[in-house]
Amino acid sequence: MPVQGYRDLLAWQKARKLTTAIYRQTSAFPDSELYGLTKQLRRAAVSVASNIAEGQRGQPTGEFVQFLGIARGSLFEIETQLAVLEDLGFLKRPAAEALVQQTTELAKILQGLIASLQPRMHAGRR
């Protein structure tokens, strides 16, 4: 079945689930952290799904790949922030590991999507 829009992309669907999981985990964080790591982590999570959607919406292939690269960068931000939250004791290891597992899986999906678009980019240059 061909992709009709960003909502059909597995990457976007997984990014949305990751965002929901991060919001649920951070809802128990202390209020003092609301404008620190909590906000930063939530923004990075929303950024992943948002960049996938924005890039897919009518963008030329090269621009879509750039947006996917930005989404991958946000995943690495998330992983770093999760490590810091675990170090600070705000996040227990099992919860952190589950979220990191989601980011790792999503990074692989994004990399596969980027790789699948590369031939189209090069074909367009001929």
User: In this prediction, what percent of the chain has a pLDDT beyond 70?
Assistant: 92
Q: What is the mean pLDDT of the chain?
A: 91
First to last CA, the chain: 28
Distance CA 29, CA 44 (A): 17
User: In this prediction, what percent of the chain has a pLDDT beyond 90?
Assistant: 79
pLDDT tens-digit profile of 20-44? 999 999 998 988 888 899 999 999 9
CB 67 within 8 A of CB 48: no
Distance CA 114, CA 119 (A): 10
DSSP 8-state assignment for residue 92: -
55 Cβ contact partners less than 8 Å away, ≥ 6 residues apart: 63, 64, 65, 66, 67, 68, 70, 71
Q: Give the start-to-end residue ranges of the domains of the chain.
A: 6-124
Q: What does the pLDDT read at residue 121?
A: 61
* Structure-block tokens of residue 72: 């991958």
69 Cβ contact partners less than 8 Å away, ≥ 6 residues apart: 114
Q: What does the pLDDT read at residue 69?
A: 97
CATH placement of domain 6-124? 1.20.1440.60
**Among 19, 17, 24, 45, CA closest to 91:** 24
pLDDT tens-digit profile of 46-81? 999 999 999 998 778 999 999 999 999 999 999 999
Q: What does the pLDDT read at residue 24?
A: 97
Question: What number is the average pLDDT over the span 8-26?
Answer: 97
Q: With bands split at pLDDT 50, 70 and 90, how would you rate the model's confidence at 126?
A: very low
18 or 59: which leads in pLDDT: 18
